[in-house]
Structure 1
Amino acid sequence: MKCRVWQFRTEQIVQYLYFNSLVSLSLSRSILAWFFRLLPVVLFFICYYCSQFYFESYGGSGKSPEPTVSVCHNFRLQRKWGSLKLNMSRKTELFLKLEDFFWREHLSAEALPYGIKGSELLLLKVLAVISSYTMPANIESSLDCRTCAVIGNGFSIKNTSLGEIINKYDVVIRVNDAPVRGYEEDVGNKTTLRLFYPESASFNPNIHNDPDTLLVLVPFKQQDLRWLKEILYNEKRVRKGFWKPPPQIWLGRTSQIRILDPYFLRLTASKLLQIPLQPHRQQKPIHPTTGILAIFVALNYCDVVHVAGFGYPESRNQKQPIHYYGKETMKSMKNSYHDLSQEGQVLKRLEDQGAILYLHPHS
């Protein structure tokens, strides 16, 4: 009897162990199956975070930074301006004022575009009509920290979906006639300052600017000031002296108009780009682009400078588009008065020094 009971219990134990082994084997197979199913997802996230680290370290920010006060604090601690070693102090008054002529002698050794020598009378007439010479009060006096986004016209900003982030900056600077409507998702729709010259002026600035956008004329030559004077005084337009016909009727309001101090173009050329202000007669004159000028203006005026839409394709790729709008290619830059290679090197140096930060990956 005892042997039968022992035999019965032995058979139960064997059946139990066999059943458990089957269950364990089934669970192991299920776990392995789930592991192989999840492996591609795990690898994807590993690659994604590695790419984020790469972009943040070497190619611009993988995730667009938010313009916060903490960013301003870090900027001040690191003293970005001092790291540029330009042997000059920051200048936060951006525009020419009438008092520069009436209340003190305005010394200028250079003519336009690097000084006002020979253009004083034209400037007097223009500044007498413009009602204000300063930034809006909500930006000038109420901000302890100014965060600025300088938006270039380059093809690199296309399909970046940066519009919402760009609109959060205190100051958004754009250049020339770059459109906003229809491109809001990538470039935003906020514009604080728009730097332009007559040939790059839009007939109706109200289409692609805010109602309170400041329209900042960058005078490269006397004809540029004369163009504005003729519009302000409703005089007969002179069409000579422009490489491209500027608008004969311009709908910019006088309360919006400012004249950029040539100081900034002079220092952009001489200090930032190391361009001779008076080249030899046989040399082709070289001037800074409006884009790099806008960045230098921002470095003077702002505590934090983030940029997007800068950089040109390699010159050998003549069919590559250069703007996020239109159909112009590198071929159109062949005879320009700009040294694009030099500007690219300077932008790289500013980025390496931490003076500017790109909002998107770039080459």
Structure 2
Amino acid sequence: MTLKATKTWFLRLLPVVLFFICYYCSQFYFESSGGKSPHPTLALCPNYRLQKKWENLNLNMSRKPELFLKLEDFFWKDHLSAEALPYGIKGSELLLLKVLAAISSFTMPANIESLDCRTCAVIGNGFALKNSSLGEIINKYDVVIRLNDAPVRGFEEDVGNKTTLRLFYPESASYNPGIHNDPDTLLVLVPFKQQDLRWLKEILYDEKRVQKGFWKPPPQIWLGRASQIRVLDPYFLRITARKFLQIPVQPRKQQKAVHPTTGLLAVFVALNYCDVVHVAGFGYPASRNQNQPIHYYGQQTMKSMKNSYHDLNQEAQILHRLEEQGVILYLHPHS
């Protein structure tokens, strides 16, 4: 073969070679990031991908996409609970029935329920979000889950302004949910104790408020609309505690109670409901740095977490493991 012929053959083959190089490089990136792109697109989220990752968690259970308690569930004996709050409803049935009778029986919005592939962003409250400029990206997800009373207004450039679900408990409830939520945001109560259900019942039925039993006074007037309110099934907190944190069913006496953070709970909720789960704003500074701010808003530092009922180191390890397995993907650099 002449030099000229060899050169012609090489030039014709070059585009094919470049195509395969680009293809395999993209496949490597795709798989190394857990099969997900930082931008939610239908092309990257077929259902089997998360299902395969879910199976790798070895939880020995199926995903549970029904997130909220419904009134009709409690007319059947097979829904009886063996545990009290926060991991079951034993002893709180009557309170719960009154609450569920006053709120909407609908689950998630129909336009989200009907999606073949649901992309979720779970937005923590961590300092990592400050000056992140992630707002536009966060707003593109089908479902945006936020936590407690984390503000949106004034922080839109970093955290976006779309909120599909906001998980909260009475002490973390904002007096006027309309300020930092969309009009159709679902306000999802996470009941940790019987007083949490009683608080909501008193709000819904405009009864006399009982202020005892809270570590911080919750709002006595709360402007959440009944049609927006949901009650998270304690199943999710129970499995987060038992399977992720390995909290014993019967903790020893004198042993300090440990519960999952709302953030880790929200990640587990998203893993059950969504086909793509990306997270942002998770992680705390090193515990030795007591003066480091922990939120993208406000002035709280690690000192405020000193007596918390959370195992932050273990939760960090769990999130790291989920990331390594490709089950979740962070939207920003993190340690």
Task: Look up the match of 1:76.
Answer: 49
Distance, in Å, in 1 between the alignment partners of 2:47 and 2:106 is 31
* CA separation of 1:356 and 1:233: change in aligned 2, threshold 3 A: same
Give per-residue Cα distances to partners, 1:227-272, cap 9 Å, x unaligned.
0000000000000000000000000000000000000000000001
- Are 2:130 and 2:158, in contact at CA under 8 Å, matched by a contact in 1? yes
Task: Look up the match of 1:124.
Answer: 97
- Are 1:203 and 1:250, in contact at CA under 8 Å, matched by a contact in 2? yes
- Are 1:96 and 1:133, in contact at CA under 8 Å, matched by a contact in 2? no
Task: Look up the match of 1:301.
Answer: 273
Cα displacement (A) at 1:273: 1.3
Distance, in Å, in 1 between the alignment partners of 2:96 and 2:177 is 22
Task: Look up the match of 2:291.
Answer: 319
Task: Look up the match of 1:92.
Answer: 65
Task: Look up the match of 1:18.
Answer: none
Select which of 240, 253, 264 maps to 1:268: 240
Select which of 294, 300, 308 maps to 1:336: 308
Select which of 38, 62, 87 maps to 1:65: 38
Select which of 309, 314, 324 maps to 1:352: 324
Contiguous gaps of at least 5 residues in structure 1: 1-55
Give per-residue Cα distances to partners, 1:66-100, cap 9 Å, x unaligned.
10012203862771111111111100000001111
Distance, in Å, in 1 between the alignment partners of 2:328 and 2:249 is 25
Q: Report the TM-score, using the length of structure 2 for normalisation.
A: 0.88
* CA separation of 1:235 and 1:331: change in aligned 2, threshold 3 A: same
Task: Look up the match of 2:85.
Answer: 112
Task: Look up the match of 1:175.
Answer: 147
Using the TM superposition, name which of 197-206 and 276-285 deviates more. 276-285
Distance, in Å, in 2 between the alignment partners of 1:230 and 1:103 is 26
Distance, in Å, in 2 between the alignment partners of 1:361 and 1:173 is 20
Distance, in Å, in 2 between the alignment partners of 1:60 and 1:341 is 24
* CA separation of 1:312 and 1:75: change in aligned 2, threshold 3 A: farther
**What's the secondary structure of 1:294's corresponding residue?**
helix
Select which of 212, 219, 226 maps to 2:198: 226
- Are 1:112 and 1:222, in contact at CA under 8 Å, matched by a contact in 2? yes
Select which of 167, 192, 195 maps to 1:195: 167
How do 1:1-40 residues align onto structure 2 when only pairs under 5 Å count? none
Cα displacement (A) at 1:176: 0.2
* CA separation of 1:218 and 1:78: change in aligned 2, threshold 3 A: closer
Corresponding position: 1:212 with 2:194: no
Q: Report the TM-score, using the length of structure 1 for normalisation.
A: 0.81
**What's the secondary structure of 1:223's corresponding residue?**
helix
Cα displacement (A) at 1:103: 3.9
Cα displacement (A) at 1:106: 2.0
Aligned residue identity for 1:218: V
Contiguous gaps of at least 5 residues in structure 2: 1-28
- Are 1:113 and 1:266, in contact at CA under 8 Å, matched by a contact in 2? yes
Corresponding position: 1:288 with 2:260: yes
- Are 1:146 and 1:304, in contact at CA under 8 Å, matched by a contact in 2? yes
* CA separation of 1:90 and 1:74: change in aligned 2, threshold 3 A: closer
- Are 1:320 and 1:330, in contact at CA under 8 Å, matched by a contact in 2? yes
Aligned length: 306
Distance, in Å, in 2 between the alignment partners of 1:349 and 1:110 is 29
Distance, in Å, in 2 between the alignment partners of 1:357 and 1:262 is 26
Task: Look up the match of 1:148.
Answer: 120
- Are 1:153 and 1:323, in contact at CA under 8 Å, matched by a contact in 2? yes
- Are 2:33 and 2:326, in contact at CA under 8 Å, matched by a contact in 1? no
Distance, in Å, in 2 between the alignment partners of 1:277 and 1:328 is 32
Distance, in Å, in 1 between the alignment partners of 2:267 and 2:54 is 13
* CA separation of 1:357 and 1:103: change in aligned 2, threshold 3 A: same
**What's the secondary structure of 2:278's corresponding residue?**
strand
- Are 1:122 and 1:229, in contact at CA under 8 Å, matched by a contact in 2? yes
Distance, in Å, in 2 between the alignment partners of 1:187 and 1:231 is 30
Distance, in Å, in 2 between the alignment partners of 1:277 and 1:355 is 26
Distance, in Å, in 1 between the alignment partners of 2:327 and 2:281 is 17
- Are 1:201 and 1:247, in contact at CA under 8 Å, matched by a contact in 2? yes
Cα displacement (A) at 1:278: 2.7
* CA separation of 1:306 and 1:333: change in aligned 2, threshold 3 A: same
**What's the secondary structure of 1:79's corresponding residue?**
helix
Aligned residue identity for 2:91: G
- Are 1:269 and 1:277, in contact at CA under 8 Å, matched by a contact in 2? no
Distance, in Å, in 2 between the alignment partners of 1:118 and 1:228 is 16
Runs of 4+ in structure 1 deviating by more than 4 angstroms, as ranges, are: none
